[in-house]
Structures are given as C-alpha cells and as structure tokens.
Amino acid sequence: MTVIVPIQVLRAAAATAVVVGHFQGVTSPTPEYFVPYAKAASAGVDLFFIISGFVMVYASEPMFGRADGPLSFFARRAIRIIPLYWLATTGYVLLAAAVPSFLEVPYSARFVLSSYLFIPAARPDGAMNPVVGQGWTLNYEMLFYLIFAVGVLGTRRVAVAASSLAIAALIAAGRIFEPSSLALAFWTDSIMIEFVFGMVLGLAYREGLRLPKWLSAAVLVAGLILFYVNLGIFEIPRALENGIVIPRCIAYGIPAAVVVAGATLGDFSLGGGIWRLLAIVGDASYALYLVHALPVRAMIQGFKLTGVSVDAHRLVCLVMTVGVAAVVAVMIYYLFERPVTLALRSLVGQFAILRSIRQEPKIATEIATKPAPAPPTPTAG
C-alpha cells in the first residue's frame, strides 16, 4: 500500500498531543492549568480512532471478499499491536513485582490477565485502565478489529456498511440495556462511533472522492477551529454552562473527522523534508503513544536533579521532553516494532504457503481421478 503521508503526519500530531498532555499533567502547578492540556490529550486519542477506521478500510483492499480475508486481516492487526503492548505490560508487571512501593494496591492475577487479553477491567483505584494505563484505547481497537474482520468477508462497501451497523447496534444496546458488567458498559460507549467516521472517510478515499486543494485546506482549518473551540480555549457556550453534556464522539470525534477529511481528500503530497520527518514520527506513533510515560518521567526527574525549574522554563522543558520521547519511540520502532512485525508476518506467510503446498497433492489427485468429459455429440450440418 502507498503510504498516505498526511495520515502519518496526523498520527504524529495525535501522539504528540498525548505526550504534551501527560507532561503537563505531571508538572502542572494547579489542576486548572492542566485542564486544556488534558482535553488536548483526549482529542489526540479521538483523532487516533478516526485514523484507525480510515486505515482499516484503506489497507484492507486485498482482503475484501476473500474466504481467508477475516483471518488474514485479524492476524495482521494482532501482529502489529500485540508484541509491543505485551512487552510494555510485562515490563510494568515486573516493575511492580520488584518494587512493591510502585503500587498502592498490588495487581490481582485476574486484572493482569485481563490486561493481556484486551478485556476492560477496573484497576484497584476504580479506573478502567489496564496495567499500561493508556492501553485502554486498545480495548476499543481490538473489538473494532473483530467487528471489521467479519465485515471483510464482503466487498469494501459491504464491509463498511456491516461494521458500521454492528457498532451502531452495539452502542444502542448499551443505551437500552445499560449493562451492569463493566466490560460491556465500556465496549458500548458512544466513542466507538468514531471508528465509523473513519471508515466512511476511508471508503470515500478508496472510491476516489477528492476535493480541490483549496477546499480541502479550508475543511482542515475548519476542523482545527472546531477542535480549538471544543477544547475550551474560546468561551464555553451557555448551553454547556447550563449542564448540557455533549458526548465525546461529538465534541472531539466530529472535529477529528473533519481534520482527517481535509488532510486526506485534498491529495496533498507533502514531499518536503519536514513532512518526511513527521511521517517517521507517525510510523513510530504507536510506540510513542504506548511507552512515552517512561521518557517523560525520566526527563522530569532529570530536570529536578539538575536544578532546572520546569515552571520557569516550561516551554523549553516541554519541547526537550517531547523530542526525547519521539527519539525513543523511533528507536523502539526500528529496533523492535518493525523487525518483529515483519518477522511475524513472514512466519504467517510461510504457514500459508505450507498449507497451500499440502493441499496441492489432494487437488492433483482429485484432478487425476476426475472422469474425463464425454466427447461432444456430432451435430448435423
């Protein structure tokens, strides 16, 4: 598949927003100061969900309508997601075992197993986060992959329509039945609809919809303005002050969808050096999202040890921390994530070839034993 550079740039932006939010959360002088950055970090997650829906449609083109499409699709996604996530989870579990003071309440075996299996479960403090805190989004991602894997049996349009209906039904069931199970309540949250937004955009892109560059740029700017407004930078509308709650999929999901539409449907090439650099960070965005907490905390500790005041030099410290976290993520991507992904995909490919080789003698026998067709009956004239 041809890499869509604007998508990679958006991935880099989404992961960076999460890093910025976490840095400010750890170092903020007051909770009020942190609020807009917390919202920005949350918006980065919503942007990731839109991108995920888009990419699943775009990258699954060779699998649609094939009997082995669902298994092939899910295997590729599992290979992409699981190794680094399980490695990070194991690291946290070992750290908690080696340093008991790392946790106020020890992890239960059930909770750790749920984390490995992408099953939502409450932490000892009640938060619905796995061992690797930011891995809560992967509990949504893996459910989406299961739903979309079934849809891959059909054509591209059928896959998007069927997956969208399944997600809508899931959310509706959550609203109607209000499940008492924490996992079911988690999985039926309306945030799942953001995958539908992304799938629709991916379908539009694959179907050839393109906008003039000026219009696409205007759409992109409109999406950014919507983000700006909804993050509370401008005055909050009176409706919100009166207690009307706007669902996250509307407040952040729609601006994210508009941004992705503007970035992709204009067919921007983005061939300059800065864009290539951002695309590399986009390649490593999963690693950046998943493991950034360690370099962020290490940098903050380093500032303390060297006597650097984060409050007095906040912007410089923030830029340095984001840069170090990005470098660490790129190293993880090239030294672990990418080679492991390629090796596992190659291994799965070899198993597929072996299966086809085993089937060849059976097919040859069937052809050899199949009666020859009767010669055609001569006709007059």
CB 48 within 8 A of CB 322: no
C-beta of residue 150 within 8 angstroms of C-beta of residue 70: yes
Q: Which residues contact 59 (CB under 8 A, 6 or more apart)?
A: 1
Tell me the pTM: 0.88
Opening angle at CA 291, ends 290 and 293, nearest 5: 110
How many other β-carbons are positioned within 10 Å of the β-carbon of residue 139?
21
**d(Cα 186, Cα 369) in Å, to the nearest integer?**
56
How many other CB atoms are there within 10 angstroms of residue 356's CB atom? Answer: 10
Cα dihedral across residues 88, 94, 97, 98: positive or negative: negative
Give Dmax over CA atoms of the chain in angstroms: 105
Q: Are 175 and 193 in contact (CB under 8 A)?
A: no
Q: Which CA distances in Å does 224 have to 163, 228, 256, 293, 349?
A: 28, 6, 8, 26, 42
CB atoms closer than 10 angstroms to residue 317: 20
Token pair belonging to 180: 């008492």
Cβ atoms of 211 and 219 within 8 Å: the answer is: yes
**Are 292 and 21 in contact, with CB atoms under 8 Å apart?**
no
**C-alpha atoms less than 13 angstroms from C-alpha of 30 in its C-beta half-sphere:** 2
Distance of CA 356 to the CA centre of its chain: 33
- Residue 333: DSSP 8-state: I
CB-CB neighbours of 324 under 10 Å: 17
Report which DSSP code applies to 192. Answer: G
* Rounded distance between C-alpha atoms, residue 188 and residue 220, angstroms: 30
How confident is the prediction along the chain (381 residues), in pLDDT tens digits per residue?
688 899 999 999 999 999 999 998 888 877 777 777 878 888 899 999 999 999 999 999 999 999 999 999 999 999 999 999 999 999 999 988 888 777 767 888 999 999 999 999 998 788 899 999 999 999 999 999 999 999 999 999 999 999 999 999 999 999 999 999 999 999 999 999 999 999 999 999 999 999 999 999 999 999 998 888 776 654 444 445 555 667 889 888 999 999 999 999 998 887 778 999 999 999 999 999 999 999 999 999 999 999 999 989 999 999 999 999 999 999 999 999 999 999 998 888 776 665 555 555 554 444 445 555 555 555 544
Q: Which residues of 277-314 are buried (b: 16+ CB within 10 A; e: fewer)?
A: ebbbbbbbbbbbbbbbbebbeebbeebeeeeeebeeee
Terminal CA-CA length for the chain:
56
Q: Where are the domains of the chain?
A: 5-270
CA distance 99 to 95: 6
